[in-house]
Structure 1
Amino acid sequence: MIEGSHPSLFVTLDGMAGAGKTTTVRMLGPCLRNMGYRVHTTAEPTPGALGELARRNTDLYRGESLACLVAADRYHHLETEIEPHLREGDIVVCDRYIASSYVLQQWDGVPLAFVDALNNRARRPDLAVLLVADPAVAASRVAARGAHDRFQYGISAGRTEAGMYRTAASYLAQLGTPVVSTIDTTSREPLQVVEQIAQRIAERCGELGQGPSDQGATA
């Protein structure tokens, strides 16, 4: 944080396919701006060359090779986008981060120790949010919008993913990352989820001795 300016907080949203991560991030930005915060929203994999390579080639790249692509995209994302916005005093909200790697890369057969080693030098979030939903509901949402990759097919995949994200939340907490208790979005309206997260972000800013600014917001 730049002394005497506005809050600098790195918030990540991870969770199973169909839990509403992208919708939540899209609504969270305006909600926080209305509370007086400067906010920058972003996502991983990024739309850059590394991110597109990882996103569009999950059938070609698997295991350790995919894990390395995802990590490379993450470090470039940190260097070129996340860290600069944090230095400016923005709240940065990222759709998918390390928790997704813990789940998807382990699901792909990569040992946790390898995933941890790849991400060892990546900035840890100031607050991590994890979303889950009933596997049947999540599967229907994915079917309605279309699966993005090979990890997102069917109820059985949803059950596996939900359990792994709950485990990831516990693991992040053990590492000292402040974690919002895993939020079940099955029967909750998106606005309710957003308001809960926004309140926790405000509390986290307060814990760090920061508050909203009346200065302009970012995209």
Structure 2
Amino acid sequence: MIGGGHPSLLVTLDGMAGAGKTTTVRLLGPHLRNMGYRVHTTAEPTSDMLGELARHNTDLYRAESLACLVAADRYHHLETEIEPHLQEGEIVVCDRYIASSYVLQQLDGVPLAFVDALNSRARRPDLAVLLVTDPAVAASRVAVRGAHDRFQGGISASKAEAGMYSAAASYLSRLGTPAVLVIDTTNQELRQVVETIAQRIADRLAEPSRYPNDQGANA
């Protein structure tokens, strides 16, 4: 607990295209504020120069070059936005983070060891939320809204993502991420999803181990 006694927590939302990440983040911010928390929502890739390069040039940059761009944007994001808001005692909710790199960069042919090394110095989330859904449902949702990049589109892409995000959840846990929450959004209203995440955030903040000896240490 830092920033004048307010709770701080880094919560990340990753998951399959069509699982509802961005809408969930948009609903989660106000929901947490209504619960009395100070909240900052953000996203990766960011709207800064590095993030714009990574987001809009996936056809130009591929494999290791794209992985490096994404990681560079993440470190800049941590330095200039995420860490300062955490220091102010806010809950930071980020749409996409390390789990997305594990999945998308591996789908792009980059070995896990390379992705892991690139992100080894990035702050680990206090709560990593992964949203999954039935691949057929995900593919249908993406088809309706339109693909955002070359990683999206078609049932085969959704099936690949589903398997990779399941593996990413296990990998995050093995790396020592304090809390990993996987939610299947296939048959859930997003407001239910938001309530589930909000309750897990409240539980996470209430864990005595987060503040050993009441000195405000981060988990």
Q: TM-score, normalization: structure 1?
A: 0.93
* Pairwise CA distance, 1:209: 4.8
* Pairwise CA distance, 1:5: 1.5
Aligned to 2:53: 53
* Pairwise CA distance, 1:40: 0.2
| Alpha-carbon separation, structure 2, partners of 1:198 and 1:180 | 14
Aligned to 2:122: 122
Aligned to 1:86: 86
* Pairwise CA distance, 1:180: 3.5
| Alpha-carbon separation, structure 1, partners of 2:179 and 2:164 | 15
Structure 1, unmatched stretches of 5+, are 211-219
Q: Percent identity?
A: 82
Aligned to 1:113: 113
Q: Which has the higher contact order (CA 8 A, sep 6+)?
A: 1
Aligned to 2:215: none
Given residue 24 of structure 1, which amino acid in structure 2 is its aligned partner?
T
Kindly report which structure 2 residues correspond to 1:34-53, keeping only aligned pairs within 5 A, or say none.
Answer: 34-53=34-53
Q: 2:68 matched to 1:68?
A: yes
* Inter-CA distance 114–4: structure 2 relative to 1 (3 Å threshold): same
- 3-state SS of 2:182 partner: strand
| Alpha-carbon separation, structure 2, partners of 1:4 and 1:47 | 29
Aligned to 2:177: 177
| Alpha-carbon separation, structure 1, partners of 2:152 and 2:193 | 22
Q: 2:81 matched to 1:97?
A: no
* Pairwise CA distance, 1:94: 0.2
Structure 2, unmatched stretches of 5+, are 213-219
* Pairwise CA distance, 1:8: 0.6
Q: How many residues align?
A: 210
Kindly report which structure 2 residues correspond to 1:146-157, keeping only aligned pairs within 5 A, or say none.
Answer: 146-157=146-157
Aligned to 1:7: 7
| Alpha-carbon separation, structure 1, partners of 2:156 and 2:49 | 32
Q: TM-score, normalization: structure 2?
A: 0.93
| Alpha-carbon separation, structure 2, partners of 1:78 and 1:202 | 23
* Pairwise CA distance, 1:181: 3.3
* Pairwise CA distance, 1:60: 0.7
Instruction: State the 4+ residue runs in structure 1 displaced beyond 3 angstroms.
Output: none
